[in-house]
Amino acid sequence: MFIAHTIPELRAHLERFNRTALVPTMGNLHDGHLALVRQARGLADAVVATVFVNRLQFLPHEDFDTYPRTWAQDCARLESVGCDVLFSPREEDLYPEPQTFRIAPDPALADILEGAFRPGFFAGVCTVVMKLLQCAQPHVAVFGQKDYQQLLVLRHMARQFALPVEVVGGATVRADDGLALSSRNGYLSPAERAEAVALSRALRGLADAVRAGARDLPALEADAMQALRARGWQPDYLTVRRRSDLQAPAPGADAASAPLVALGAARLGGTRLIDNLEFAPAD
Ligand code: PAF
């Protein structure tokens, strides 16, 4: 695996490949990331993974400083799944001067759900992804569906800027008990880890209720949040939305037939977890 830290090193190395696939990450790689690399291998001649903890997408009180940085382990894991190139810029390589230009995503998609609780998050994500795409100029970029809203925002960005890249989603990888794999799971104590699966169960409960014919979504969502609170969680949202634009399904037609997704974000102790579950009312 070739490792590049600077943009010129990366670009010079990539000249030898016809078709590349990019897998952007912030490191601390788990099996979910490795599945994205495997998926990317089937889509291109060479896979370029990136490891960069992007300051622009963290709020001042969030975990930028403590975000797990596991360089040696990440390199070994990427090698083990046949990643061809690792681009891991230092901050001064990617942001040699203050990054004053930012991508401003559509507020209708980016200021709801995650964006409502993490203002500026998607502007930070879009800005770094735009820059990583410019650095590597891949034909395909693969992002995990676990970050469902992020995937939609990035697809929208690629479409609106006519970027010559196909944005592809990779299925969420789960632990045996159903917990979605996430770098932040490492923050959980053993007791919290045992409890953490309650988030995906709550989303399944919402989906099952809608499939069983329940249509009062605000009441269902409020009950699901209350049930998590009773177990010691602090939920930000648990909600059922249309997959296409993450807006609430219109009562009647949408709620009865549109492709839907249940999305949730909740804090367990000091750890904020997110998850989602796609379903259709008539599944
Ligand atoms: O999903 C992530 O890990 C990050 O948001 C990404 C896409 C690598 C941008 O920093």
- Residue 33 designated active-site: yes
Residue 277, ligand 1, Cβ within 6 A = no
Mean pLDDT of the region 136-152:
98
Mean pLDDT calculated for residue range 179-204: 98
Residue 147 beta carbon below 6 angstroms from any ligand 1 atom: yes
3-state SS, residue 81: coil
Mutate to test the pocket of ligand 1, among 33, 127, 128 (most ligand atoms within 8 A of CB): 128
Q: What angle do CA 102, 107, 112 make, to 5 degrees?
A: 120
pLDDT confidence of residue 253: 64
| Three-class SS state of 247 | coil
Q: How is the chain split into domains, by residue range? A: 2-170, 183-279
CA 153 to centroid of ligand 1, rounded, Å: 12
Kindly tell me if the per-residue pLDDT of 278 is higher than 70. yes
Residue 255 has pLDDT above 80, yes or no: no
Counting ligand 1 atoms within 8 A of each CB, the residue from 54, 55, 88 with the most, and so the one to mutate, is 54
User: Residues 169-191: pLDDT tens digits?
Assistant: 999 999 999 999 999 999 999 99
**Quick check: 14 pLDDT over 80?**
yes
Please state the CATH superfamily assignment of the domain spanning residues 183-279 in this structure: Pantoate-beta-alanine ligase, C-terminal domain (3.30.1300.10)
Residue 239 near ligand 1, beta carbon < 6 Å: no
Whose C-alpha lies nearest to ligand 1, atom 9? 125
Report pLDDT digits (tens) over 98-111: 999 999 999 999 99
Q: Residue 269: is its pLDDT beyond 90?
A: yes
- Cβ of residue 20 lying under 6 Å from some atom of ligand 1: no
Per-residue model confidence as pLDDT tens digits over 25-63: 999 999 999 999 999 999 999 999 999 999 999 999 999
Cα of 209 vs centre of ligand 1, distance in Å, is 32
Mean pLDDT computed over 257-267: 95
Q: Buried (b) or exposed (e) across 175-213, using 16+ Cβ within 10 A?
A: eeeebbbbbebebbeeebbebbbbbbbbbebbbebbeee
Mean pLDDT computed over 205-212: 96
pLDDT value for 252: 72
CATH topology of domain 2-170: Rossmann fold (3.40.50)
